[in-house]
Amino acid sequence: MEAWEAAKNALECVLETSKGESIVIFCDDEKMDVGEAFANGALKLGLQTYLIRLKTDLNIFRKEISPQILEILTKQKPDIYINLLRGIREETPFRIKLIQMETKDRRARLGHCPGVTLNMLTMCFSSNS
């Protein structure tokens, strides 16, 4: 099964997406392959899809919400967020802040996947059952 099909299955079965909803996918440079799979799966489902690439440096760890992310969080208000981020412990405070901002109005659904890989995606969501 293609990775986009597995991502589409995850969006349908776990996040119960509906055609016409909007989705913002925050993705590290390191997880761009997974981000593109989710973006393609979302497009196949008829979702308004925004893939936001976050520049990643191996020796620099995110601690605060950047102005780029803050602008998206305050202006977009999508139905669904997907966070595809490297799973390093030094960025845990950043991920907590991001989740709090994404879910503060209790309206958006969230898929938070630190450390996810294409293999994990295709192994877990390879069937639509």
Euclidean distance between the first and the last CA atom of the chain, given in angstroms as a whole number: 14
Answer whether residue 11 shows pLDDT above 80. yes
How many angstroms separate the CA atoms of 53 and 69, rounded? 10
Most confident of 2-11, 36-45, 97-106: 36-45
Alpha-helical runs (H) found in the chain: 3-13, 32-44, 67-75, 92-103, 118-124
50 is written with which tokens? 């925004």
CB atoms within 10 A of CB 90: 11
Q: What is the mean pLDDT of residues 86-93?
A: 87
Region 66-87: mean pLDDT is 88
- Confidence check: pLDDT of 129 > 50: no
Which range of 46-50, 93-97, 109-113, 117-121 scores highest in mean pLDDT? It is 46-50
Mean pLDDT to the nearest integer, 77-104: 90
pLDDT band at 117 (very low <50, low <70, confident <90, very high): confident
DSSP state letter for 125: S
pLDDT tier for residue 119 given thresholds of 50, 70 and 90: confident
Fold of 3-124: Rossmann fold (3.40.50)
